[in-house]
A and B are shown apart, each in its own frame.
Chain A
Amino acid sequence: MKEASPSEGHGNPIRIVLAKLGLDGHDRGLKVVARMLRDAGMEVVYLGLRQTTETIIEAVEQEDADVVGISMLNAGHLTLGPRMVAALADAGLDVPVVVGGIVPDEDLPAMSAAGVAGVLGPGASADEVVACVRAACRP
Chain B
Amino acid sequence: MIPRTVDQLVAAARGGERRATARLLTMVERGGEPAAEVASTTWSHVGVAGTDTHVVGVTGPPGSGKSTLVAAWLTALAAEGRRPAVLAVDPSSPLTGGAILGDRVRMAEASAAGVFIRSMATRGHAGGLALAVPGMIRVLELAGFDPVVVETVGVGQVEVDVTSTTDTCLVVVTPGMGDAVQANKAGLLEVADLFAVNKSDRPDAADVRRDLELMLDLSDLTGHRRPGMVDRPAVVSTTATTGVGVGDLSAAVDAHRDALVAGGTLQERRRQRWQAEVRSHLDERLRRVVDGAVAGLEPSDRAPYDVAAALSRGWDRGAEAGR
Contact = CB atoms under 8 A, between A and B. Distances in A.
Contacts of A55: 108, 111-112
Given A55-B111, A62-B18, A64-B22, A38 B100 contact: yes
Interface stretch (A39-47, A74-82, A98-106, A115-123): A39-47
Interface in B1-48: 1, 3-4, 9, 18-19, 22-23, 25-27, 30-31, 34
A137 B316 CA distance: 45
Contacts of A61: 18-19, 22
B119 interface: yes
Nearest to B31: A11
B177 interface: no
A94 B96 CA distance: 27
A34 B101 CA distance: 10
B101 A45 contact: yes
Interface residues of B, number: 34
Contacts of B100: 34-35, 38, 44, 46
A58 interface: yes
A113 interface: no
Given A1-B1, A61-B18, A61-B22, A44 B30 contact: no
Contact of A44 (B4, B22, B98): B98
A22 interface: no
B123 to A, nearest CB: 7
A28 interface: no
B311 interface: no
B156 interface: no
Interface string B183-225: 0000000000000000000000000000000000000000000
Given A3-B9, A62-B18, A64-B23, A44 B99 contact: yes
Interface string A19-55: 0000000000000001101111111111110000001
Contacts of B30: 11-12
B98 A39 contact: yes
5 contacts: A46-B102, A46-B105, A59-B104, A62-B116, A64-B23
Nearest to B17: A61
Contacts of A94: 1
Contacts of B27: 3-4
Nearest to A94: B1
B3 to A, nearest CB: 4
A63 to B, nearest CB: 6
A40 B101 CA distance: 15
Interface in B164-182: none
A35 B116 CA distance: 26
A39 B99 contact: no
Nearest to B4: A3
A4 B118 contact: no
B6 to A, nearest CB: 9
Contacts of A48: 102, 105
B98 A13 contact: yes
A2 B23 CA distance: 9
B93 interface: yes
Contact of A40 (B18, B34, B96, B123): B96
Which 9 residue pairs are nearest across A and B when measured between Cβ atoms?
Answer: A38-B98, A64-B22, A64-B26, A3-B3, A48-B105, A41-B96, A41-B98, A41-B97, A46-B102
Contacts of B133: none
A62 B4 contact: no
A2 to B, nearest CB: 7
Nearest to A1: B1
A64 B111 contact: no
